[in-house]
């Protein structure tokens, strides 16, 4: 599921309307004329939609990507971040379940490596935020052993 803001939804809907008219690529100027956004804000929204793989925005042309993804619409970017963090927490928790040993332990460095360089490709800040959140929710516990630091998965 992809989460977008109301403004992103408005722009995406207008792109869909213009896509029927322009068939292949939509000129940025045409989209700008149809919407009452300032150019800077519109470019930011287009870049955000491109990051979410809903459109391509190349050389002042917009290309609508055919997608079958479910879209969730929220009011603000803060809501988007909160929902995405919750989804990333779920993905991280599933990843942790897959890499713990039979005693539900995983080395701190192995876990951090999987979160940073694995499929999720989290930033350092996001990774530590997720780990702290999982600890606060009682799903993960940091443990020091004689041979290093570990995380204990609590189920």
Provide the strand spans (E) within the chain: 2-5, 26-27, 55-58, 61-64, 71-74, 105-107, 140-145, 148-153
Same domain, 87 and 104: yes
Lowest mean pLDDT among 1-5, 51-55, 76-80: 76-80
CATH of the domain at 103: 1.10.10.10
Same domain, 9 and 52: yes
Same domain, 26 and 81: no
Same domain, 86 and 67: no
Same domain, 29 and 63: yes
Same domain, 39 and 95: no
| Tally of domains within the chain | 2
Domain boundary (72, 88, 110) is at 72
Per-residue pLDDT at 85 = 66
Domain boundary (10, 42, 72) is at 72
Q: Which residues contact 12 (CB under 8 A, 6 or more apart)?
A: 4, 49, 54, 55
Same domain, 85 and 129: yes
Domain that holds residue 27: 2-72
Examine the pLDDT at 155 and tell me if it is beyond 80.
no
Same domain, 105 and 120: yes
pTM of the complete model beyond 0.85: no
Same domain, 134 and 92: yes
Nearest to 8 by CA among 47, 45, 41: 45
Same domain, 88 and 104: yes
pLDDT in tens, 31-74: 999 998 899 999 999 999 998 889 999 999 999 987 777 887 88
pLDDT in tens, 133-154: 888 888 889 999 888 999 998 8
Per-residue pLDDT at 12 = 92
pLDDT in tens, 86-131: 888 888 888 998 999 998 899 999 999 999 998 888 889 989 988 9
């Amino acid at each position: 599921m992809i989460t977008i803001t109301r403004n992103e939804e408005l722009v995406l809907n207008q792109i869909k309307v213009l896509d029927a008219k322009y068939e292949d690529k939509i000129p940025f100027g045409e989209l700008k004329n149809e919407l009452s956004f300032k150019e800077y804000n519109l470019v930011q929204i287009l870049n955000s939609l491109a990051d979410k793989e809903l459109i391509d925005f190349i050389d002042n042309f917009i290309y609508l990507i055919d997608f079958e993804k479910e879209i969730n619409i929220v009011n603000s970017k803060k809501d988007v971040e909160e929902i995405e963090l919750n989804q990333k927490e779920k993905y991280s928790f599933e990843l942790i379940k897959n890499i713990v040993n039979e005693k539900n332990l995983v080395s701190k460095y192995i876990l951090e490596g999987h979160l940073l360089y694995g499929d999720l490709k989290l930033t350092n800040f996001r990774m530590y935020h997720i780990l702290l959140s999982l600890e606060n929710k009682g799903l993960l516990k940091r443990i020091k052993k004689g041979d290093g630091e570990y995380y204990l998965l609590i189920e």
